[in-house]
Amino acid sequence: MMQQAPALPAPRFLPLLLVGVAAIVLSAALACATPFAALAALSALALPRRDALLCVGAAWCLNQGVGFGLLGYPWDASALAWGLAIGWAALLAVPAAAAVARRVKVARGLASLLAAFAVYEAVLVLAGLVLPGSAEAYAPAIVARLFLINLGTLAAALALSAAVGALAQRRIRAA
């Protein structure tokens, strides 16, 4: 008799898979505008803290793989340092989003995104004080564009989640 491999528990495996796929697709499409604040907020809303950090860390690793492997980011000290700064910013956005999600009852997704985005951008502004780059990257129009990308990502993910949940409920009732 053949033994089946144990199935990975869906509640922990599925968000990691979805965030991973999103990270690859969004990194390839948006490069430096990958919506890490939205991924941090979504992970914080859906998962325990450790798992949310794991999801965002995995998303960052995939983003760096796409950037350096497919998009041709330069292998120099500046690019590597900015990559690390982005990783720290994304990871620090998770507890900010989770803290807000615990306290807010209405529009939790939006509130979590606002907290995650504020922390993410603040860490990058601080990194910009010591790393080479341009202050133009923090112009209001650019920050607003990045926020809209994050907001759109959050909205699409929450809509997809609601649709999948409704479909699952429908299948359960039909069974």
Q: What is the pLDDT of residue 101?
A: 93
Which alpha helices (DSSP H) does 32-139 contain, by range? Answer: 36-46, 49-65, 77-103, 108-130
Say what angle helices 36-46 and 49-65 make with each other, to 10 degrees. 150
The tokens describing 27, both together, are 């990194």
Q: What is the pLDDT of residue 7?
A: 45
Torsion of CA 31, 117, 95, 48, to 10 degrees: -60
Alpha carbons 26 and 17: distance in angstroms, whole number:
14
Alpha carbons 117 and 162: distance in angstroms, whole number:
23
The predicted model scores a pTM of: 0.84
Task: Please give the chain's pLDDT, 175 residues, in tens.
Answer: 445 544 444 555 666 677 777 778 877 777 778 899 999 999 999 889 999 999 999 999 989 988 898 888 899 999 999 999 999 999 999 999 999 999 998 889 999 999 999 999 999 999 999 998 877 788 899 999 999 999 999 998 888 877 877 777 777 777 7
